[in-house]
């Protein structure tokens, strides 16, 4: 059964959709960017239905200033109250005793930063946004991956030789690669600090997605998390087979024997 719910957050009202199930472990889905709770290509709505059909209640919601929720949209960095309010609503509406939270892109980053305040027990983070691009170009790691793919493609060589390449953009991309950048940005450090408490975390990466490529290049503490790779270029896991793979990863996180799990080592 699916129903609409509303709940308070910092003087505003958030709108959510609850897929009801009888399990005592629930899933909180946090939307990334300015995305509505239905998700890209209805992906989050379909995902919630599949997870609830397996026995786990699922709540997805619009943060303040997005979709049906009131208030001002100040981006993912201000979403701590929204996540905490949604987590509390999921507990109140269902009586669950354990909670997994899932987010993609900057929603994954927000969960890493703010999950402790919401008393979330386990995280599943997809294609986390921890490297912000300079201007309108992708991060350097994503540019390198794109150029490597192009150099191996006869069609791209033909485009180059026949004038089908934007040489100004190509020059800007090469200049970006030549610039040195810090190994750790403020956002990368904050993301790492957010996971340092040892909350069990799975990170899902679409291996040919620019955000995932940039994340993998910047993430040097892989012992803190379990990494799972999907051969896809879809940031929202919308290619054939992606949705089934994503569902299975979440069901595994929801059903895992948490008592037997070994927490990642703390940062030194």
Element (H, E) at 107: helix 106-114
Confidence of residue 267 (pLDDT cuts 50, 70, 90): very low
pLDDT digits (tens, 9 = 90+) for 22-60: 999 999 999 999 999 999 989 999 999 999 999 999 999
pLDDT surpasses 50 at 268: no
Distance CA 126, CA 107 (A): 9
Q: Over pLDDT 70: what percentage of the chain? A: 76
Backbone region of residue 39 per phi and psi (left: phi > 0; alpha: psi in -120 to 50; beta: other values): left
Helix or strand or coil: residue 8? strand
8 Å CB contact between 150 and 166: no
Distance CA 108, CA 32 (A): 8
Distance CA 184, CA 6 (A): 39
CATH superfamily for domain 2-131+185-260: Alpha/Beta hydrolase fold, catalytic domain (3.40.50.1820)
Confidence of residue 148 (pLDDT cuts 50, 70, 90): very low
List the single range of 67-71, 94-98, 205-209, 218-222 with lowest mean pLDDT: 218-222
Closest CA to 21 of 2, 4, 43: 2
Domain span(s) for CATH 3.40.50.1820 in the chain: 2-131+185-260
Confidence of residue 145 (pLDDT cuts 50, 70, 90): very low
**SS3 letters across 48-95:** HHHHHHCCCCEEEECCCCCCCCCCCCCCHHHCHHHHHHHHHHHHHHHC
8 Å CB contact between 68 and 92: no
pTM: 0.82
């Amino acid at each position: 059964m699916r129903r609409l719910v509303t709940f308070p957050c910092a003087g505003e009202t958030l709108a959510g959709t609850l897929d009801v199930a009888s399990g005592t472990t629930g899933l909180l889905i946090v939307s990334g960017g300015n995305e509505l709770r239905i998700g890209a290509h209805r992906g989050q709505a379909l995902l919630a239905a599949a997870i609830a059909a397996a026995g786990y209640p699922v709540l997805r919601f619009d943060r303040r200033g997005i979709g049906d929720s009131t208030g001002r949209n100040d981006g993912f960095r201000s979403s701590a109250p929204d996540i905490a309010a949604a987590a509390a609503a999921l507990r109140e509406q269902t009586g669950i005793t354990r909670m997994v939270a899932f987010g993609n892109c900057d929603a994954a980053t927000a969960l890493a930063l703010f999950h402790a305040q919401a008393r979330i027990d386990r995280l599943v983070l997809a294609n986390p946004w921890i490297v912000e691009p300079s201007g309108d170009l992708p991060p350097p790691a994503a540019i390198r991956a794109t150029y490597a793919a192009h150099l191996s493609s006869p069609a791209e060589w033909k485009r180059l030789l026949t004038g089908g390449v934007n040489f100004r953009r190509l020059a800007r991309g090469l200049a970006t690669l030549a610039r040195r950048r810090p190994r750790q940005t403020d956002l990368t450090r904050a993301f790492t600090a957010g996971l340092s408490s040892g909350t069990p975390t799975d990170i899902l990466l679409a291996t040919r997605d620019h955000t995932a490529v940039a994340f993998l290049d910047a993430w040097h503490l892989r012992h803190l998390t379990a990494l799972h790779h999907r051969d896809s270029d879809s940031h929202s896991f919308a290619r054939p087979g992606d949705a089934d793979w994503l569902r299975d990863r979440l069901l595994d996180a929801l059903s895992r024997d948490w008592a037997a799990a070994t927490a990642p080592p703390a940062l030194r």
